A = this chain, B = another copy of it.
Amino acid sequence: MKIGILTSGGDCPGINATIRGVCKTAINYYGMEVYGIHSGFRGLLDNDVIPLTESSLTGLLNMGGTILGTSREKPFRRRGNVAMSEDKPAMLLNTIHERGLDCIVCIGGNGTLKTAAKLQEAGVNVVSIPKTIDNDVWGTDISFGFDSAVSIATDAIDRLHSTASSHQRVMVIEVMGHKAGWIALYSGMAGGGDIILLPEIPFDMHRIGDTIINRLKKGKPYSIVVVAEGIPTRDGKKAAQFIAEEIEYETGFETRETVLGYIQRGGSPTAFDRNLATRMGGHATELIAQGQFGRMVALQGDVIGSIPLQETAGKLKLVTENHDLIIQGRRMGVCFG
């Protein structure tokens, strides 16, 4: 059995641990061969494929990024009726055939899952592993990378507290999350945010202003505001800038913004993410050994299982208003909008 493995979409802590999990299980336990495909699906187009051995895996468990490289190549995307200059799907299949790969492990987020589903439809054996710091892949309770991102964001919020209270300021911090506010919710609650704004929950600037004024009345002339990058703004402003300006207007408080940015997705994964990534990697290999293709590995409660790839297509896992942490936060006085 020859496995090809690729990583696609944004990088995220834990990818290398997953690669290690897939490969060690495949090579050590099942005696399979594993081939690394460079730069996501682009490596299949370019026939950029190398064998992976146990010695390729040293040091991977706690290393950030992906040793295979990644890209946002979407080989099945069609541009209207215009004929593409290259027949990318054919090129993909050609590489897979030529290399004799029996199946492809695709590690990626929602975009990758779509491509993986199409690859499966095109007759290739595919197993997918979800990977996203945003935690918005439908079908798995948690994706690896999320705990690391939350951990980094929480550490940053901790740091802002000293400036907020020393200067009696409102500090606004923007964390990742275009459509889903998971990082904002979890880091906001863990960092003691007073106001937490998610793309999923509409907000009202008056209520936000009142929260800040009420804190002042209680002897706390400073506040921490955690916003997801994907909240609606005006005039093309970025989330943090928009909210900071509105708060200054609404309350007169000196307000400062921080955009956490790429730091959230880099560096060594947390212990939690390393174990989740390892387990998911191992389970992917097991699915291959059992001939179960067209599936995405998923954390279900405390168990690693899998679901059909097509079930995940086009779906996003969003935060809902009745999430435990939101209900609990509201009871403790946190303003979610």
Interfacial residues, chain A to chain B (CB-CB below 8 A) = 7, 10-11, 13, 15, 21, 24-25, 28-29, 39, 54-55, 58, 61-66, 69-71, 141, 147, 150-156, 158-163, 165-168, 171, 186-187, 189-192, 218-220, 256-263, 265-268, 270-272, 274-275, 278-279, 282-283, 301-304, 324-325, 328, 331-333
Contact = CB atoms under 8 A, between A and B. Distances in A.
A29 B262 contact: no
Contact of A263 (B15, B160, B166, B278): B160
A325 B65 CA distance: 23
Given A147-B272, A275-B325, A282-B328, A267 B158 contact: yes
Given A186-B271, A189-B274, 10 more contacts: A11-B162, A24-B331, A70-B166, A154-B271, A158-B267, A171-B262, A189-B278, A257-B261, A258-B259, A303-B324
Given A29-B332, A65-B162, A324-B303, A263 B258 contact: yes
Contacts of A13: 162
Contacts of A21: 328, 332
A150 B268 CA distance: 15
A94 B232 CA distance: 51
Given A65-B166, A274-B190, A218 B331 contact: no
A190 B275 contact: yes
A218 B55 CA distance: 9
Contact of A332 (B25, B189, B332): B25
A166 to B, nearest CB: 4
A267 B219 CA distance: 22
A270 B54 CA distance: 31
B302 A156 contact: no
